[in-house]
Amino acid sequence: MSSVKAINEAVDQKLKTNNATDDVIVDAPECCSDHRCESKAMDNLDNMSDIMTTNTRPSRAEAEEAVRTLIKWAGDDPTRPGMIETPARVTKAYEEFFAGYRQNAEDELSKTFEDIIGYDDFVLVKNIDFTSHCEHHIVPIIGRAHVAYWPDQKIVGISKLARIVDIYAKRMVSQENMTRQIAGVIDDVLQPKGVAVVIDAVHHCMSTRGVGKPGSSTVTSMYTGIFKEDPTIKDRLLRAI
């Protein structure tokens, strides 16, 4: 079974599980070997969260009541003076923490410049600070992303690369998927000669709880096109980072 077909089946299962009626079809032949086909298919799977949000999002009052329940479960009193406004504050904070669900990364990359003449090398934006949240424990992931692409026909404003990082960071994520999503959307929309994404982050799910290793960080990376195929270019990029 091809990876695209497997991903399509996962999409179908998610739709059935969440009673969604939206039609989601991966526009790629089953035999396609281009990494962009698989990337597009994975994007469709990622976008199931948008469908679920539209169909099942609770009201603000329900969200605040859920926070009160968690406060009581933790052992405190949500009606005491110091916490009476906490449910509203937490709900508002969640709107900020997870604003990425209401933003579209492809739209951010839609404005491009085609008047850059004679430039044939990579563009790197490094040390992009971000704060995200682990999808397993909903605790912070704090780190830096380094994003590069080698333009072909389309050049994008460099601030857009930082915005793309924020869009995917402001969701509940795994670092591995976030790395893939950033690389995938740049690859799909700009169709460059290659994309490279390296992320180094501290996961509070293992630094402030669980195994309790505050000095550790996690590095993930994804390379496409020229960065994956030419080790000398990949090495030059990593030295620039």
So which residues are the catalytic ones?
A: 134-137, 175, 203, 205
Burial of 192 (0-12, 13-18, 19+ CB in 10 A): buried
Single out the residue of 128, 126, 138 nearest to residue 203, CA to CA. 138
What is the rounded distance in angstroms from the CA atom of residue 144 to the CA atom of residue 124?
Answer: 13
The label of the residue with tokens 């169709």 reads 191
Structure tokens of 61? Answer: 């009052």
Sign of the CA dihedral with 125 first, then 102, 83, and 132 last: negative
Which residues have a Cβ under 8 Å from the Cβ of 180 and sit 6 or more positions away?
A: 39, 42, 222
192: alpha, beta or left, given left = phi > 0 and alpha = psi -120 to 50? beta
Cα–chain center distance at 119: 29
Which residues have a Cβ under 8 Å from the Cβ of 116 and sit 6 or more positions away?
A: 151, 155
**Cβ–Cβ under 8 Å, residues 145 and 197:** yes
